[in-house]
Each structure stands twice: as structure tokens, then as C-alpha cells.
Structure 1
Amino acid sequence: MVESPFDAEIRVGEVLSAEAFPETNKPEMVKLRIDLGGETVQSAAQLGYNHDPAELPGRQVLCATGLGTVRIAGFESEALTVGVPDDDGRPVLVTPDREVPLGGRQY
């Protein structure tokens, strides 16, 4: 088995806040604060094409954690919010199909 320098895992979180991210050159970028069950992380995601930031708080999402931090226009993105492309290649959130405990790890 190959050992990884990262403790990467996919966890369930709830969006606490979401706002436009005009500091980037991509109008679809959104800043997110996500509760992973007692741990709060920040994430920058290209969700603006398919998701209104005002409708994201309270929504459960999947996040890849343990990948390190990336600084985007002065914002530290600590988790990767998981999405898949729609027919136009624009991200759509991957979410549990029912409410589950926050912080839960993917099997």
C-alpha cells in the first residue's frame, strides 16, 4: 500500500454561508463557509452558473478535505466542494439524497 502525505477524505458538511467572489476573474466563483460537524472550513467553488449563493446556506454538500490549503485572491480555500459537470461542463453540487450527520466520511 502506498502511503500518502495527505489525510484526504470526503466528508459531509452543511453550508453556513455563501457569497459571490468578485475578487477573482471568474464571475461564477463563490466563497463558502462549511460546517463539517464541529469543524468549520472555507471553500472556493465555481458554482455560480448552476447555484444561487443565496440558496446554498443550510444545504448539505460533500467536501474533500486533507488536501492542503489553496489561496485564491487572498481567500484560503481549505476544502474542495465536490461537484460534477452538467451538459455544458459547469459544476453541479454533489449532495446526499437525504439529510445525514455532519462530518460523516465517505466509505
Structure 2
Amino acid sequence: MSDTETPFDVQLQVGEILRAEPFPEANKPEMAKLWIDIGTQELPSAAQTGYNYEPDELVGRQVLCATNLGTVRIAGFKSEALTVGVPDEDGHPVLVTPDAAVPLGGALY
């Protein structure tokens, strides 16, 4: 394996949240269901957003996502992207977003 190859085709890509809904079925009350447009497709994502965001304020926001990780089912919801966040001072996730609008699907390099 070369220095640039990975055992998976995991990519970090920018997407735009198209829809966001509460996810009361999840085992954590702060979870939300997100549908994220990464330019070539729409991916569902279960994300811990409830401490810092309401679902309606997430729509239209660009976020960083890890894609090509495979599918994970959370309380029956198929999650195909990991929405990237970092903890705030209380340990609650804050979404990683570009500081200017960028083309959807833009991959980290």
C-alpha cells in the first residue's frame, strides 16, 4: 500500500443539509436525522446535534461529512454519512463547517 492509499475509500466531503428531523427513536435524545446533498447524491446521516442546534436551523447549512464508511442502522434509520463535529466546552458536538460557501462534494485534500 502506498502512502496515499487507505484500506477504505473514506472521503471527507462537504455537503449541504437538505432536511433535518428530530430522532426520538434513537437511544440518545440529542440525535437528529439529516439528509445531506454531497453533490453527486443525497446521503442520510444520524447526528448528535440536539444540544447546539434545532432541526430547522440546520437546513441549508454546509457541513463536513465522512463518506464511504458503509451503512450503519440506528434505531431502524439507515445512516450512510458521518457528520463531523468537535466538542464544545461542555462536550457537546459543534458541526464542522466551511467558513465560506464551497461546491458540494468538495473533498478534503
Give the TM-score category using the shorter length. over 0.9
Letter in 2 for 1:75: F
Q: CA deviation at 1:24?
A: 1.2
For 2:26 and 2:96, the matched residues in 1 are separated by 23
The counterpart of 1:28, out of the listed 27, 30, 47, is 30
Q: Percent identical across equivalent pairs?
A: 70
**Aligned residue type for 2:84:** V
- Select which of 44, 54, 57 maps to 2:56: 54
Superposition pairs for residues 60-79 of structure 1, below 5 Å? Answer: 60-79=62-81
**TM-score, scaled relative to structure 2:** 0.94
Cα displacement (A) at 1:38: 2.8
Query: Which 4+ stretches in 1 moved above 4 angstroms?
Result: none
Is there any run of 5+ residues in structure 1 with no aligned partner, and where?
Answer: none
> Cα RMSD between the aligned structures?
1.1
Q: Partner residue of 1:10?
A: 12
TM-score w.r.t. structure 1 length? Answer: 0.95
What's the CA shift for 1:9? 0.7
Describe the SS at the equivalent of 1:55. helix
| Structure 2: unaligned runs, 5 residues or longer | none
How far off its partner does 1:4 sit? 3.8
